[in-house]
Chains A and B, each alone.
Chain A
Amino acid sequence: MIQYQAFLPEIWLVGAAFLVLIFELFYKSNSDRGLLKAVAVVGVVGALLSLGCELGCVSGGCPVQACCSMGTTVPTAFGGFLKTDALAAFFKLIILLATLLTLLISFRYFKANPTFYVAEFIAIILFSAAGASVLTSAQEIITLYVALETLTISSYLLAAFMKKDKSSNEAGMKYLLLGAFSSALLLFGFSYLYGFTGTTVIADIGKALATQVSSPLLTLAVIMIVAGLAFKISLAPFHMWTPDVYEGSPTPVTAFLSVASKTAGFAAFVRLFWVGLSVPALQPTWIGLFAVLAVLSIILGNLEALPQRNIKRLMAYSSIAQAGYISAGFLAGGQLGLTAVLFYLFVYLFANMSVFLAIAIVNGKTGTDQIEDYAGIWKRSPLIGVVLLVGLLSLAGVPPFAGFSGKWYLFGAAISKGYTWIALVGMIFSVVSLYYYLQVARQALVSEPKDPSPIEMNWVERAVLVISVVFIVTLGFWPTPVMQMAQTAASSLFN
Chain B
Amino acid sequence: MLKLEHFQNITYTHSDWLWLIAALPLLGAFLNGFLTLLSARKVLTVKPWVNALIACGASIASFIVSWEMFLSFKKAPDSPWVQDLFNWVESAAFHVNFSFELNALSGVMVVFITFVASLIHLYSIGYMKNDEGFGRYFTYLNLFLFSMLVLVLGQDLLVLFLGWEGVGFCSYLLIGFWFDDVAKAEAGKKAIIVNRIGDAGFVAGLLMVFALAGTFNFNELLAHKQVFTETTATLICLFFFIGAAGKSAQIPLYIWLPDAMAGPTPVSALIHAATMVTAGVYLVARLDFIYVLAPWASTLIAVIGVLTALFAATIALVQTDIKKVLAYSTVSQLGYMFLGVGVTSYESGIFHLITHGFFKACLFLAAGSVIHSLRGEQDIRKMGGLLKHIPMTSLGFLLGWIAIAGILPTCGGFFSKDEILWRALATPNPIFPLLPEVLYVIALFTSFLTAFYMTRLIVMVFFGDYRGDREVYEHLHESPRIMTWPVLALGIGSMFIGWIGVPTAIGGADELGKFLDPLFHLSTLDANGVSPKLEPILMLLSFLVAWAGVALAWYAYGFKHSVSKNLAQTFSGVKKVLEGKYYVDEFYQHTVVAFVKAIARWVSQWLIEGLFVGRLVELGVQAVTRTAQAAKQVQSGLVRAYLAYIAAGAALLIYLFLHS
Contacts and interface: CB of A to CB of B under 8 A. Distances in A.
A173 B631 CA distance: 22
B624 A292 contact: no
A366 interface: no
B639 A173 contact: yes
Given A238-B649, A240-B645, 6 more contacts: A181-B646, A220-B658, A306-B625, A306-B628, A481-B86, A484-B87
B211 interface: no
A307 B632 contact: yes
B182 interface: no
Interface residues of B, number: 32
Contact of B646 (A220, A227, A300, A480): A227
A241 B642 contact: yes
A224 B650 contact: yes
A178 B646 contact: yes
Contact of B657 (A288, A300, A307): A288
B594 interface: no
Given A238-B646, A303-B631, A307-B628, A219 B658 contact: yes
A480 B639 CA distance: 45
B172 to A, nearest CB: 18
Nearest to A222: B657
Contacts of A289: 653, 657
Contacts of B637: 244
Interface string B625-650: 10111011011010101110110111
A177 B86 contact: no
Contact of A483 (B90, B642, B657): B90
Interface string A229-248: 00100000110110110000
Contacts of A110: none
A306 B88 CA distance: 36
Interface string A269-283: 000000000000000
Nearest to A483: B90
Contact of A300 (B87, B89, B631): B631
21 contacts: A178-B642, A178-B643, A219-B657, A220-B654, A223-B653, A226-B653, A227-B653, A231-B646, A237-B645, A240-B634, A240-B642, A243-B635, A289-B653, A303-B624, A304-B632, A304-B635, A306-B625, A307-B625, A307-B632, A432-B624, A484-B90
B656 interface: yes
A191 to B, nearest CB: 16
B153 to A, nearest CB: 18
Interface of A is mostly: helix
Contacts of B91: 408-409, 412
B43 interface: no
Contact of A480 (B86, B628, B648, B652): B86
A412 B92 contact: yes
A174 interface: yes
B639 A177 contact: yes
Contacts of B642: 174, 178, 240-241
B635 A480 contact: no
A167 B138 CA distance: 55
Contacts of A484: 87, 90
Contacts of A336: 92
User: Which of A226, A227, A288, A409 counts the most B-chain CB atoms under 10 A from its CB?
Assistant: A227
A263 interface: no
Interface of B: 86-92, 624-625, 627-629, 631-632, 634-635, 637, 639, 641-643, 645-646, 648-650, 652-654, 656-658
A182 B646 contact: yes
A245 to B, nearest CB: 11
Nearest to A181: B643
B658 A216 contact: yes
Contacts of B648: 237
Interface string A88-103: 0000000000000000
Contact of A177 (B90, B643, B652, B656): B643
A238 B624 CA distance: 21
A432 B86 CA distance: 36
Nearest to A182: B646
Contacts of A483: 90
A174 B639 CA distance: 6
Contacts of B635: 240, 243-244, 304
A185 interface: yes
A223 B657 contact: yes
A292 B646 contact: no
A478 interface: yes
A480 B89 contact: yes
Nearest to B96: A480
A463 to B, nearest CB: 15
A285 interface: yes
A87 to B, nearest CB: 19
Contacts of A223: 650, 653-654, 657
A269 to B, nearest CB: 16
B647 to A, nearest CB: 8
B601 to A, nearest CB: 24
Given A227-B646, A240-B645, A483-B90, A306 B653 contact: no
A303 B624 CA distance: 7
Contacts of A409: 91
A81 B13 CA distance: 51
Nearest to B637: A244
Contacts of B649: 227, 237-238
Contacts of A306: 624-625, 628
Nearest to A236: B649
Contacts of B632: 304, 307
A237 B625 contact: no
A285 B657 contact: yes
Contacts of B625: 306-307
A409 B91 CA distance: 8
Contacts of A177: 639, 643
Contact of A303 (B88, B627, B639, B657): B627
Contacts of B652: 237
Contacts of A479: 89
A10 to B, nearest CB: 31
Contacts of A285: 657
Nearest to A478: B88
Nearest 6 A-B pairs (CB), nearest first?
A237-B649, A240-B642, A227-B650, A480-B87, A307-B628, A304-B631
A292 B653 contact: yes
Nearest to A240: B642
A405 B656 CA distance: 34
A284 B652 CA distance: 17
Nearest to A408: B91
Contacts of B627: 303
A292 B656 contact: yes
Given A412-B92, A483-B90, A178 B650 contact: no
A226 B656 CA distance: 14
B532 to A, nearest CB: 52
A131 B293 CA distance: 65
B646 A240 contact: yes
A480 B95 CA distance: 10
B628 A303 contact: yes
Contacts of A224: 650
A300 B631 CA distance: 8
A348 B413 CA distance: 58
Interface string A389-432: 00000000000000000001100100010000000000000001
A220 B655 CA distance: 10
A185 B649 CA distance: 12
A239 to B, nearest CB: 9
A408 B90 CA distance: 12
Contacts of B654: 219-220, 223
Interface in A162-208: 173-174, 177-178, 181-182, 185
Contacts of A481: 86
Interface in A441-495: 478-481, 483-484
A216 B628 CA distance: 36
Contacts of A432: 624
Contacts of B628: 303-304, 306-307
